[in-house]
Every structure is written in C-alpha cells, then in structure tokens.
C-alpha cells in the first residue's frame, strides 16, 4: 500500500523541516550552513519520531485489526489470545480484542443455532418415523380384517390383538414424548421432599415382579436394608427413573438376576440397578441416553421399547442436579447408577421444626 508509515513520516518530516527552515531564514544573522543543519536535524528528528509512532503504535495495530478481520472472514479463530481487553492501555489493541471477542461469540451463536437446527430436523424425522411404525402396523391389521379376514374367527382374534399391541406402543410413545417435552420446557416442576428410597425400591420391585417372573428372572435388593434411607428428591420422578431402569434391565436380560442397591457416602446415597443381561458395547455407552438411540433396534421394538426411556431418566436426574452413570460389559451385564442427597426422616424434620419454634419463642420473650 502506498500510504504506509514510512511514506507518511517522510512527507510530514519534509513539511516540518521546510516550515522550520523557512521560519529560521526570517532571522537575518542565521547563516546558510546553520539553515541546512537545522533543516536536516528537524527532518531527521521528525521522521524518526513519526515513523516510530506510526509504525509501532498505529499502523502495526491497524494491520493487526485487518489480520483479525481477514482471519475471521475465513472462520479462523485460533490465532490470537482472547485475553481480557481491559488490561491494556492501548485503545487500538483494545478495539482489536473487542472485535475478536465479538467475532468469536457471534460465531459460537451461529454454530449453536446450526446445531439446533440439525437437531430439530433429525428429531422431527425420528418422531415421524417412530409414529409411522405402529400406525402402519395397526392400519395393516385393521384393513386385512375389513378385507375379509374378520370372518375367520382365529385370524380375527390374532389380528385384533396385534393391532391392539401396536396401538399400545403408540400410546407409550406419545406418553414418553409428552413427558420429555414437558420436562424440557420446564412445565414439570420438581417437588422435592424427604422420602425413604428403600421403600420406593420395594414398590418398584412389586410393580415389576410379574414381568420378571414371566421371563424366569430374579429381582431383589443386593443387601438387607433394615433401616430406611431418606433422600431429598422428587419421589414421583425418582420412582419413574427406577421403573425405567429396571424395565430396561428386564428387557435386556435373558437369564440371571436384577439387583437394586444403595451405598451411603457422606451426604449422598448412590442408587444402582445391576443386571446380568446382554450389556452395551463401549462405543454406544455415550449414545444410549440420546432420544431414539437403540443398540439393537429390532430387539428394543419387539419388547415395546420407545427409545425414550433413558432420555427421560437423564432429564429427570439433571433436573435434580445429578446425572446417571453406566458401566457395562457385553454379554455380562450393566450397572446404571445415580446419586441423590441424603434427606431427613420425619422425626428429624419434627425435631428441627421444634428447635426452630423454641428459638422463635426465646426471641419473642
Ligand atoms: P428402549 O425403549 O429402546 O429400551 P431406552 O432409552 O430405555 O430405549 O434405552 C436405549 C437403548 O439402550 C436400548 O435400546 C438398549 O439398546 C440400551 N439399553 C438400555 N438399558 C440397557 C440394559 N440394562 N442392558 C442393555 N442395553 C440397555
């Protein structure tokens, strides 16, 4: 570029030297030699001063700003340290950093929006596909019946049962989808309370015992827990989490047993569900909590799985500021676990309330 720091300094230095010499030449006793020295000195001093100022303080920083903008255009955000723009006195440096930070933030927002858009599209496609399967199946059975199969008593019952099963699957799917979206948009508030998780575990086991027996499996607590273990959580949602985890354990276990257990450590209790089932390959462990992800699609659908059970578990536990962990070995089994904060028993809560009351009474007195 023609207008660089050297040219600008040169032009200004010539002007300053000319003005200084012209001014000095007005003084009668100054000799030509002195005028020449003054011209050279003022030229050299001005040139150096301006050159250094422009080169190091202005042009260099403006050049950096151009570089930043150019790289941003190419979506390269890896070239500058995004330090705090407030810790430098140089306003051009500050502008440069502000531009960089602004660019990085905008780029991140755009990336997030793109990712969300892809996610939304994939989710829509997944939901349509999942809804289509049971609807098509039920439709097929009903139409076959209407086309004449209804007259055959044996076929009639068989097809009606199959249509009913497809509609049941559809019902579970819609129910799970609604639960998931309600949790996500925060429509379902968590109602934290103090309750005995051992008792909840017994209730879940009682509810699923039939299914366990039908598959010839065993289910129970891994140890005897004679005393209650109080936790502070949403009892209804944790019940749902256990139902989902144990239902999965039943679905994906063909022989052996399912154990539910607790480990109390400090102010937390770790709840775990262990099975001796088919296990999950290591590469799928991170993905099983995604909606509609299934390790073995046909097996999950045959057993009535919606592909949303673990996504619901994950969301409920995240709403409790905790998360679900899983350890699994293929053909050996899996352990799903999560932690909850220890709660108070009814007696402890009553005692605390009494103490607070006494404190209030003392204050009033
Ligand atoms: P699904 O309705 O298909 O069971 P989930 O979200 O509950 O959906 O589970 C996602 C996938 O994780 C399942 O399809 C299955 O492949 C795998 N999975 C979940 N729990 C277990 C388990 N206890 N043992 C083996 N695989 C499991």
| 116-138 pLDDT per residue, tens | 999 889 888 989 988 998 999 99
Determine which residue's CA is closest to atom 13 belonging to ligand 1. 294
In whole angstroms, give the CA distance from residue 176 to residue 52.
70
For 190-216, write each residue's pLDDT tens digit: 899 999 999 999 999 999 999 999 999
Pair 19, 42: CB distance under 8 Å: no
| β-bridge partners, 230 | 196
* Mean pLDDT over each residue of the chain, to the nearest integer: 89
Q: Is 134 in the pocket of ligand 1 (CB under 6 A)?
A: no
Mean pLDDT along residues 78-90 = 60
For ligand 1, say whether the CB of 280 is within 6 Å of any of its atoms. yes
- Sheet with 268-275: strands ordered across: 218-221, 257-265, 268-275, 333-341, 324-329
What is the C-alpha to C-alpha distance for residues 343 and 351, in angstroms, rounded to an integer?
Answer: 14
Measuring CA to CA, which residue among 191, 337, 345 is closest to residue 265?
337
Pull the structure tokens for residue 236. Answer: 């209804």
Q: How far is the CA of 168 from the centre of ligand 1 (A)?
A: 19
241 lines ligand 1 (CB under 6 A): no
Q: What is the mean pLDDT of residues 88-108?
A: 83
Cβ–Cβ < 8 Å for 304, 248? no
242: left (phi over 0), alpha (psi -120 to 50) or beta: alpha
Residue to mutate, 169, 273, 288, ligand 1, most ligand atoms under 8 Å from C-beta: 288
Atom index in ligand 1 nearest the CA of residue 304 equals 2
CA-nearest residue, atom 23 of ligand 1: 249
Residues in a beta bridge with 328: 334
The reply to whether ligand 1 has any atom less than 6 angstroms from the CB of 275 is yes
Q: Is 333 in the pocket of ligand 1 (CB under 6 A)?
A: no
The pLDDT tens digits for 307-327 are: 999 999 999 999 999 999 999
Left (φ > 0), alpha (ψ -120 to 50) or beta: where does 260 sit? beta
Residue 144 structure tokens: 């076959």
Residues 315-359: tens digit of each pLDDT: 999 999 999 999 999 999 999 999 999 998 888 888 888 888 888
Interval between CA 248 and ligand 1 midpoint (Å)? 6
How much is the pTM?
Answer: 0.71
* Cβ–ligand 1 contact at 309 (below 6 Å): yes
Question: Widest CA span of the chain, in angstroms?
Answer: 133
Task: Write the DSSP string, 33-74.
Answer: HHHHHHHHHHHHHHHHHHHHIIIIIIIHHHHHHHHHHHHHHT
Tell me how far apart the terminal alpha carbons of the chain are, to the nearest angstrom. Answer: 86
Ligand 1 centroid, distance to 228 Cα (angstroms): 30
């Amino acid at each position: 570029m023609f207008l660089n720091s050297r040219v600008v300094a040169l032009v200004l230095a010539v002007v300053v030297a000319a003005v200084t010499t012209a001014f000095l030449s007005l003084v009668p006793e100054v000799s030509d030699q002195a005028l020449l020295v003054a011209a050279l000195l003022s030229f050299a001093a001005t040139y150096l001063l301006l050159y250094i100022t422009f080169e190091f303080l202005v042009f260099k920083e403006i050049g950096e700003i151009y570089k930043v903008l150019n790289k941003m255009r190419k979506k390269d955000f890896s070239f500058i340290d995004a330090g705090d723009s407030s810790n430098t006195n140089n306003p051009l440096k500050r502008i440069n950093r502000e531009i960089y930070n602004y660019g990085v933030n905008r780029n991140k927002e755009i990336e997030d929006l793109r990712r969300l858009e892809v996610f939304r599209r994939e989710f829509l496609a997944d939901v349509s596909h999942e809804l289509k399967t049971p609807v098509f199946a039920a439709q097929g059975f009903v139409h076959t019946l209407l086309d004449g199969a209804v007259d055959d008593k044996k076929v009639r019952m068989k097809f009606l049962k199959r249509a009913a099963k497809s509609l049941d699957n559809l019902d579970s799917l819609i129910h799970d989808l609604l639960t998931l979206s309600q949790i996500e948009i925060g429509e379902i508030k968590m109602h934290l309370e103090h309750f005995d998780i051992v008792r909840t575990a017994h209730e879940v086991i009682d509810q699923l015992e039939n299914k366990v027996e039908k598959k010839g499996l065993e289910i129970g607590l891994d140890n005897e827990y004679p005393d209650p273990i109080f936790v502070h959580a949403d009892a209804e949602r944790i019940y749902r989490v256990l139902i989902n985890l144990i239902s999965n354990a039943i679905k994906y276990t063909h022989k052996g047993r399912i154990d539910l257990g607790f480990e109390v450590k400090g102010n937390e209790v770790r709840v775990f569900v262990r099975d001796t089932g088919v296990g999950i390959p290591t590469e799928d462990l991170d993905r099983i909590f995604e909606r509609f992800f299934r390790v073995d699609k046909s097996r999950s659908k045959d057993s009535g799985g919606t592909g949303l059970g673990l996504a619901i578990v994950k969301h409920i536990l995240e709403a409790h500021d905790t998360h679900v962990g899983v350890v699994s070995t293929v053909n050996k089994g899996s352990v799903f676990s999560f932690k909850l904060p220890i709660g108070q028993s009814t007696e402890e809560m009553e005692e605390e309330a009494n103490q607070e009351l006494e404190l209030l009474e003392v204050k009033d007195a």
